[in-house]
Homo-oligomer: A and B are copies of this chain.
């Protein structure tokens, strides 16, 4: 018997706003909210992904996060990149050089990547992450 990953928890200055932003990015929905709004969880309606829980903290981000999420575009990398930038993601430089993927940050500065390959394109590899 092994434990289950309940959720990925993300420190946040404004959990409600950040959860709403990521729900728009991912097409996810709010699945739980604490009475005081200090904790807001979102999840994929189609399953298959770990839920995310945004939790209010007082301390601010000071260094590059050591954990981040990598997204796959639904169809075309460029189209999805444009959509993310339109939603308010910003490009950040963490020393990725001329990597083909895009390194972005959410409204609270959390780094994430938009990969090049779509889910369909990687079906030729056994659950490959690249």
Contacts and interface: CB of A to CB of B under 8 A. Distances in A.
A11 B59 CA distance: 21
- Copies of this chain, whole number: 2
A67 B110 contact: yes
Interface in A41-84: 41, 43-44, 47-51, 53, 57, 59, 61-75, 80
A50 B130 CA distance: 14
Interface residues of A, number: 56
A53 B41 contact: no
A73 B2 CA distance: 7
Secondary structure of the A side of the interface?
loop
Nearest to A74: B1
A126 interface: yes
Nearest to A50: B50
A16 interface: no
B2 A69 contact: no
A100 to B, nearest CB: 14
B3 A66 contact: no
Contacts of A25: 2-3
Given A61-B66, A63-B63, A71 B127 contact: no
Query: Which 4 pairs from chain A and chain B are nearest by CB?
Result: A2-B27, A1-B74, A3-B71, A67-B67
